[in-house]
Chain A
Amino acid sequence: MTGQTGLQNARRAAELAARASYGRLLSVLAARDRDIAAAEDALSEALLAALRTWPETGVPLNPEGWLVTAARNRRKNEARAQAVRRAAEPALILQFDTTAAEGPIGDDRLQLMLVCAHPAIDRAARAPLILQTVLGLDAATIARAFLVEPATMSQRLVRAKARIRDAGLRFAIPAPDEMPERLGAVLDAIYAAFGQGWDNLDTPDAPEALTGEALWLARLVADLMPQEPEPKGLLALMLYCNARRQARRDADGRFVPLDRQDTRLWDRSRIIEAEGLLTTAARAGRFGRYQCEAAIQSVHVQRPLTGQLNLAALRTLYDLLVSQSDSIGARISRAVVLAELGEVDQARNELDALPMDRVRNHAPWWVAKSRIATLSRQANAATDALSVAISLTGDSAVRRFLIEQREALEAG
């Protein structure tokens, strides 16, 4: 059964396997010799081979197993060639032995995440490395998520992978006392993946591809570390956001901002779960960045109950958030809350104090700039800033929304 349909089915099966299990397959492949870059090469070659073979042979019953075996064979051949060249010991070949590979594929994703978060890895590379290895995001997408140049990010990732291969890091769950130190990078990566799925990558036919993966990983970490409050905070934060999924687009696919959403479309069960997680996390008495961000979402969720947004509570929480994690996003949101509370000049000063090279291409900064200009009745400045934001926005629904806002501003 060759031909067009077979080809499409095969391509689809390979793509599905790649999308859904990239990190799982990579973690299985890289755990043997710590060579992430080589495992990535072998996995992508196996995917290419699948696209060539499957249209002719049909899609195998266990596509993931097929891909892992193909990738391992590739590495075994490579090792054999190297072994012959170097007359090295046969152990090198044994390392890639595939005889035991037919069983179900294990899940070493947590292990892989924790290796990427090893203190011997450059701090700035830890979360990006997790995104690339566990979720298969490319360097350009990761660079966007962390607001750095793609070339810088590629270099960082290549260096980190070489270090994991050469420095001999352990592929294992670390001792409990080492966990908290590694946790930060793991949580940052999960949240960045969620953000990428939310903003860019999830598509209508796979609405929760990446956000669902991020939720799954957060649940895994929260379950494995019940004593730590921050994984619960992160899980709560993502559940609050996910609860509003149905409400953030209208029937015509138009973007609906938080304050105009139909709250009847919010998923109550997710909100209740999030509130519960936040309460449990608070009992540990160790407030952190993700609990703080979840608490901010909780304030937004209260709005339909009380009939108004508690801006004073938001301000307090954003002050805390800025002291917890001095991120660009936190500072931008805090400036907007200040402006809404009437402190327009201070809001503008805080926005302008952010490093220009990092915010120049960051649409939320320009949207905030526009909002603050509107509140201080500078219509032209507001329109100009919004135009820049529009040019920087990739999401067509958000773009359309911003264009409509600009039209409303121009109409006065």
Chain B
Amino acid sequence: MQFMLILTETSRDHARRNDPAQAGEYWGGWSAFIAAMAQAGIVVNGDGLQGPHTATTLRVRDGKRVVEDGPFADTKEQLAGYFIVEAPDLDTALDWAAKAPSALTAAVEVRPVLPPMPATGQ
């Protein structure tokens, strides 16, 4: 079955991306994690995301588009990236989630992906 690893990150960890003194270690940690998953052949799809300051949120209200900048979840942990992985069970997916660098400081949410919708017209 497929699981989505929803990776969150603290703003402090996020800042390490562009800190010359820490960027190497930061990206090294993620590269190692991603390489290990690729090696195991479990990754279906996945990406890191640009920081929350680049986010744009859209709502349609009364037929009008309302566009605002930024994510609206005012939390300490922000969405940093995601992976869709193929794993036999939750426990295996959790084992991988535990290896994500951000699991130490923020959190990884693990959710089964809904199976494909039934064929239409039946």
Beta-carbon contact of B90 and A87 below 8 Å:
no
A277 CB to closest chain B CB (Å) equals: 32
B30 CB to closest chain A CB (Å) equals: 25
Nearest first, the 10 A-B pairs at minimum CB distance are: A170-B89, A170-B91, A168-B90, A86-B118, A87-B119, A168-B89, A169-B90, A168-B112, A167-B90, A168-B1
Cβ-based interface call for B93 (8 A):
yes
Q: A289 to B3, alpha carbons, bound, how many Å?
A: 38
Could you name 9 residue pairs across A and B whose Cβ atoms are closer than 8 Å? A85-B122, A86-B119, A120-B90, A168-B112, A169-B90, A169-B91, A170-B88, A170-B91, A170-B92
Chain B 77-109 interface residues, beta-carbon cutoff 8 Å to A:
87-94
A36 CB to closest chain B CB (Å) equals: 15
A168-193 near B? 1/0 per residue, CB < 8 Å: 11111010000000000000000000
Q: A170 to B87, alpha carbons, bound, how many Å?
A: 11
Chain B 1-21 interface residues, beta-carbon cutoff 8 Å to A:
1, 3
Cβ-based interface call for A223 (8 A):
no
Chain A residues lying within 8 Å of B94, measured Cβ to Cβ, are: 120
Chain B residues lying within 8 Å of A166, measured Cβ to Cβ, are: 112
A34-76 near B? 1/0 per residue, CB < 8 Å: 0000000000000000000000000000000000000000000
Chain B residues lying within 8 Å of A167, measured Cβ to Cβ, are: 90, 112
Chain B residues lying within 8 Å of A88, measured Cβ to Cβ, are: 118
A116 CB to closest chain B CB (Å) equals: 14
B102 CB to closest chain A CB (Å) equals: 20
Chain A residues lying within 8 Å of B91, measured Cβ to Cβ, are: 169-170, 172, 174
Q: A174 to B1, alpha carbons, bound, how many Å?
A: 19
Q: Main SS of chain A's interface residues?
A: loop
Residues of chain A whose beta carbon lies under 8 Å from any beta carbon of chain B: 85-88, 120, 166-172, 174
A30 CB to closest chain B CB (Å) equals: 14
| A163 to chain B: closest residue by CB | B90
Chain A residues lying within 8 Å of B88, measured Cβ to Cβ, are: 170
Most buried by B among A85, A88, A120, A168: A168
Given contacts A87-B118, A168-B89, A168-B93, 17 further A-B pairs with CB under 8 A are A85-B118, A85-B122, A86-B118, A86-B122, A87-B122, A88-B118, A166-B112, A167-B90, A168-B1, A168-B3, A168-B112, A169-B89, A169-B91, A170-B90, A170-B91, A170-B92, A172-B91
Chain B residues lying within 8 Å of A174, measured Cβ to Cβ, are: 91
| A86 to chain B: closest residue by CB | B118
Chain B residues lying within 8 Å of A86, measured Cβ to Cβ, are: 118-119, 122
B107 CB to closest chain A CB (Å) equals: 14
Q: A88 to B92, alpha carbons, bound, how many Å?
A: 25
A167 CB to closest chain B CB (Å) equals: 5
| B89 to chain A: closest residue by CB | A170
Chain A residues lying within 8 Å of B92, measured Cβ to Cβ, are: 170
Chain A residues lying within 8 Å of B3, measured Cβ to Cβ, are: 168
A230 CB to closest chain B CB (Å) equals: 23
Chain B residues lying within 8 Å of A87, measured Cβ to Cβ, are: 118-119, 122
B98 CB to closest chain A CB (Å) equals: 12
| B115 to chain A: closest residue by CB | A88
B110 CB to closest chain A CB (Å) equals: 8
Chain B residues lying within 8 Å of A85, measured Cβ to Cβ, are: 118, 122
Q: A120 to B97, alpha carbons, bound, how many Å?
A: 14
Q: A168 to B119, alpha carbons, bound, how many Å?
A: 23
Q: A135 to B114, alpha carbons, bound, how many Å?
A: 32
Most buried by B among A169, A170, A171: A170
Q: A166 to B111, alpha carbons, bound, how many Å?
A: 9
Q: A170 to B1, alpha carbons, bound, how many Å?
A: 12
Chain B 25-73 interface residues, beta-carbon cutoff 8 Å to A:
none
| B95 to chain A: closest residue by CB | A175
| B118 to chain A: closest residue by CB | A86
| A82 to chain B: closest residue by CB | B118
Q: A174 to B91, alpha carbons, bound, how many Å?
A: 9
| B121 to chain A: closest residue by CB | A87
Chain A residues lying within 8 Å of B112, measured Cβ to Cβ, are: 166-168
Chain B residues lying within 8 Å of A170, measured Cβ to Cβ, are: 88-92
| A87 to chain B: closest residue by CB | B119
Chain A residues lying within 8 Å of B93, measured Cβ to Cβ, are: 168
A253 CB to closest chain B CB (Å) equals: 50
Q: A59 to B1, alpha carbons, bound, how many Å?
A: 41
B61 CB to closest chain A CB (Å) equals: 33
Q: A86 to B94, alpha carbons, bound, how many Å?
A: 30
